[in-house]
Structure 1
Amino acid sequence: MQSSQPYDVCLILEGTYPFVSGGVSTWVHNLIRALPDIRFCAVSIFPSKKETRELKYDLPENFHLAQIVYIHEYDLGPAGTASRRQQRQHVAAIADFHHRIKGGDFSQFEKIVTLFQHPEKSGLAVHNLIHGKKAWSFLVEQYGPEDNTVSFIDYFWTFRFTHLPVFKLLGAPIPRARVYHTISTGFAGMLAAMAKHVHQRPMLLTEHGIYTKERKIEIAQAEWIYVAGGERVRVKKDVNAFQQLWINMFESLGRMTYQMADRIFTLYSGNRKLEISEGADPEKIEIIPNGIDIARFSTLKPAIFDEAEKSKTRFKVGFVGRVVAIKDVKTFLRACKIVALQMPSVQFFILGPTDEDPQYYQECKELVKLLRLGDGVIFSGRINVMEYYPKLDLLVLTSVSEAQPLVILEANCAGIPVVASDVGSCRELIEGRTRNDRMIGPSGIVTPVADPVGTAGGIIRILSDPKTREQMALAGRERVRRYYQERDLNRKYDAIYKQYMSKEEI
């Protein structure tokens, strides 16, 4: 669906919809479908073309994928048409911007955007920001040779790898819309802030997981970032100088997104506290929990256990999620081994795509062999969860970072107890958020992060006691019915969009 008129809402997405499945993508897809009167478009940000896969969703009629930006595919091109004086001014403007953002001042961002968005007037070329004496002097100044003890050559390449994606985004065309809505900070947040300036329209932010926190976890584990001495054994509290450059960049992008956003929406109170600690204005933040279509999930399993269900001894346990490091599938597999030693009749299913991190998937398969789990663990690949939920007796989530996982809400609604790590809003989804919510009772067990023994203990406790399993199943259904209905979320966003669509130019 294309039009010469502005779209109602332009979604700014990074590494998600419509090419990657998962909780955030499902949330975006369901929101678009639920608001057919809103004309959506999207800009999707990916590292490179090889990261873009086939569409994972049937695109709704009210949605148009306007653009894909590949931030690690850049052509420096020839030198620009700017005079030497202009080139000095360009480098000076970028140097001034770098200096100011260290103190949380992003006031010069609009000037930088204008330089990149109108190169025919400014004569700016990325080539001049990477090559030449002025660019070199700027780089050396940023390095600080008087005080810096790390390798300059490694700093040189790290600087390029962190800045070239930003330069690519700064020059990207932005579709016209009445409202810009980014579903994270980071690169998507920066592009949304650009759109606000270029088209003088409101900008909204919804955070599911806290982007900066998740990038810190990935950076601490990353093997593609230079590490002096080449030692990488586990996630460490301290990071090296080159990892810190990446972290600094994402922290700056996060603070800038918070400052530029007209409103900030998040899923639960824990997220709100983290956003405030990272510089967000508390007055801008509103909590809107995730919701699901209870009619779709509530009839998948009988609400009350019959005698066969109470007396069963063979069980199916499912892990629903992508096979990637942040989901910590390895902790789940180690828990499976502990459970299998005590309850050999339990079958384990890992239900989710395996193609997003092939190396991690291979490591998980090797761990299954090492643990001698054999056919006790099945990797299903991409599946329709509606076909599997009726078969599952328990859902397990061992992520090291989550926001408000849709899979817990889906399992609760279907009457499936949950064992989940204590991240994001998992505890309040399982045990309740308010006093009245907690009175409903727990719908599962919360365990420490990266704790296979605790996870296994939770699985065994629930499967060994049919009364506990039934009570948790009933509690989950009731909690979703009272507090997490999708229609409430859709009504709120419909009102928010229409409020900001009607605003005059800013």
Structure 2
Amino acid sequence: MPVIKKAEYVDVLLLCEGTFPYIKGGVSSWIYQLIKGLSEFSFGIIFLGGNSDDYKELAYDLPHNLIHLETHFLFEKISSKNQRKPIKGEKDLEQKMRNLHYWFRTHGDNLSEELKKLDFYKRIDHKQFLHSKKSFSFITSEYQKNCPDVPFIEYFWTVRNIHSPIWIIANAAMSVPKFSIVHSPSTGYAGLLGAFLKNNYGKKFILTEHGIYLMERKIDIALSSWIEEYRINLMKSSGEKNYIKELWIRLFNGINKFAYESADPIISLYSGARKIQLEYGANINKTMIIPNGINTEKFSKITKLRGDKISNIVALIGRVVSIKDIKTFITAIKIASEKIKDIEGWVVGPTEEDKEYYYECLELVKTLNLENKIKFKGFQKMEEILAQIGLLTLTSVSEGMPLVILEGFAAGIPAVATNVGACPELIYGKDEEDFKIGKAGEIIPTANPSSAAQAYVRILSDKAVWNQYSQNALKRVKTFYEEKNLLNKYRELYSSAIQEGKS
């Protein structure tokens, strides 16, 4: 557990899973904005990552009021160097593990009070889970009962990888600095840590979901190539669910339920996300909406510098990962180039997260002879990119409320985005007052390069349309999405929670 900055007490303990301060953009930008904008509060960060090799360098300068930072890695290689012999383990270890496993598998009943408490993970510790005979007995009995046709080694490591992070997170919860509020920007493992902290220290647990974590993990698992396509037995029909994938989905269902049960409030960024939270079991009385906000003044000079010429550069700003569907964007630029000869497609964002997918995108560029049309720019300063482009696009299969669209709007850049997350609200409006502003771009279906290309050509080829969308974008972001509104709402939440804790 490397501790980079240490404090005895923080006002707000932020739980960051795979985001700030190691990854640029997206949720990380929002976290950085929150810490800097609420300088009257002291912050600590518990960072949760997969493997330490993936998070070598800080991607941000740490604000002065971020006074605690520690890291925990959930999927580091497990060393057995000092554990040559299996240990016996507590007498009721197998039954306790079975209770935990069954809860995550069924996610029907609430987690027992015993399993919510950190004392359980002290008594039956990580070492017992990894190395005891009773733990191995539990895994083998579950294997024989549920999926004997799956290779045992596949099942063994799946169960280990599903359960092991629970102990790592419980251990992290035992050693945090004192705090008044715990705030997680997602459910998932960060939400699990937040739920442990709430149930053991009795502090306020605020949950803000930028995307719907559970829905996104289901998409990731469905698309994954790292989970083999094993069936429960070979005689089942081809439509039978993949047992190993189902174990992962049930894990995330379970911890999502625990986070929703423990958090108050449960915040979403837009009405559609709140509706999904309710479908996944959130208590309606706990839910509220706080949309993203940006400093529009920061981007205003771009509109003055642009001049009359509309650039034929279309930029997709985001991580190069499958959920962003970069391949659809590449194909759309190929189609659009038949009508606009000098069109270019820029992919602006990190490429390291899924290198295999990045290489597939490069191969597609080569196959379509787009080496002179598609450019992977890596991470760039938003102001510099927005000053050069004529259109923003997102071809994602899942989104929350993309900050990049709001930042583009503040620079007067129209957007073309898929019909996911808050994109329709941002581009078309969210209510009667907002609808009156008019469209600030176009919404297209997912995985439809032809529709994307048609939208790019229509907007870039018609100056009147572009200008109208640009004006609407500026008006919408200044009316509904100013940074001060976001900061004031969280300032009020934090101040109220701290005051409650003192009384």
Scaled by the length of structure 1, the TM-score of the pair is: 0.90
Match for 2:98 among 89, 95, 100?
A: 95
1:22 match: secondary structure: coil
Shift of 1:150: 3.7
Q: Would the aligned equivalents of 2:36 and 2:63 in 1 still touch at CA under 8 Å?
A: yes
Counterpart position of 1:449: 446
Q: 1:137 to 1:505 in 2, by over 3 A?
A: farther
Q: Would the aligned equivalents of 2:15 and 2:194 in 1 still touch at CA under 8 Å?
A: yes
Deviations 1:302-341, CA, capped at 9 Å, x for gaps: 39x96x43xx6x6222111111211111110000000111
Deviations 1:47-89, CA, capped at 9 Å, x for gaps: 111110311111100003421001112456659999x7x7123
Q: 1:174 to 1:79 in 2, by over 3 A?
A: farther
1:108 aligns with 2:119: no
**Equivalent position amino acid for 1:28 in 2:** I
Counterpart position of 1:52: 55
**Equivalent position amino acid for 1:155 in 2:** Y
Q: 1:496 to 1:186 in 2, by over 3 A?
A: same
Shift of 1:158: 1.5
Shift of 1:159: 1.0
Scaled by the length of structure 2, the TM-score of the pair is: 0.91
Taking the aligned partners of 2:436 and 2:263, their CA distance within structure 1 comes to 37
The 10-residue stretch of structure 1 (365-374 or 107-116) with the greater mean CA deviation from structure 2:
107-116
Taking the aligned partners of 1:18 and 1:28, their CA distance within structure 2 comes to 9
1:396 aligns with 2:384: no
Taking the aligned partners of 2:69 and 2:497, their CA distance within structure 1 comes to 21
Shift of 1:110: 4.6
Q: Would the aligned equivalents of 2:182 and 2:205 in 1 still touch at CA under 8 Å?
A: yes
Taking the aligned partners of 2:67 and 2:408, their CA distance within structure 1 comes to 31
Shift of 1:459: 0.3
Q: How does 1:85-484 map to 2 (within 5 A)?
A: 87-100=90-103, 102=106, 103-108=108-113, 110=115, 113-116=118-121, 119=122, 122=123, 124-143=124-143, 145=145, 148=147, 150-151=149-150, 153=152, 154-172=154-172, 173-228=175-230, 239-302=241-304, 308-309=308-309, 315-484=312-481
Q: 1:464 to 1:79 in 2, by over 3 A?
A: same
Match for 2:26 among 18, 23, 26?
A: 23
Taking the aligned partners of 1:181 and 1:219, their CA distance within structure 2 comes to 26
Taking the aligned partners of 2:202 and 2:115, their CA distance within structure 1 comes to 11
Counterpart position of 1:494: 491
Taking the aligned partners of 2:148 and 2:272, their CA distance within structure 1 comes to 38
Counterpart position of 1:12: 15
Taking the aligned partners of 1:501 and 1:110, their CA distance within structure 2 comes to 28
Taking the aligned partners of 2:18 and 2:131, their CA distance within structure 1 comes to 30
Q: Would the aligned equivalents of 1:420 and 1:446 in 2 still touch at CA under 8 Å?
A: yes
User: What RMSD over aligned residues (CA atoms) do the two structures have, in Å?
Assistant: 2.5
Deviations 1:146-203, CA, capped at 9 Å, x for gaps: x645426132222112112222222223232111101111111111112223333111
Taking the aligned partners of 2:225 and 2:7, their CA distance within structure 1 comes to 45
Q: Would the aligned equivalents of 1:431 and 1:441 in 2 still touch at CA under 8 Å?
A: yes
Taking the aligned partners of 1:79 and 1:58, their CA distance within structure 2 comes to 43
Taking the aligned partners of 1:399 and 1:445, their CA distance within structure 2 comes to 14
Q: 1:438 to 1:237 in 2, by over 3 A?
A: farther
Taking the aligned partners of 1:264 and 1:300, their CA distance within structure 2 comes to 36
Q: 1:273 to 1:238 in 2, by over 3 A?
A: farther
Q: Would the aligned equivalents of 1:201 and 1:505 in 2 still touch at CA under 8 Å?
A: no
Q: 1:55 to 1:148 in 2, by over 3 A?
A: closer
Q: Would the aligned equivalents of 1:322 and 1:354 in 2 still touch at CA under 8 Å?
A: yes
Q: Percent identity?
A: 36
Q: Would the aligned equivalents of 1:91 and 1:134 in 2 still touch at CA under 8 Å?
A: yes
- Gaps in structure 1 of 5+ consecutive residues: 230-235
Taking the aligned partners of 2:86 and 2:179, their CA distance within structure 1 comes to 31
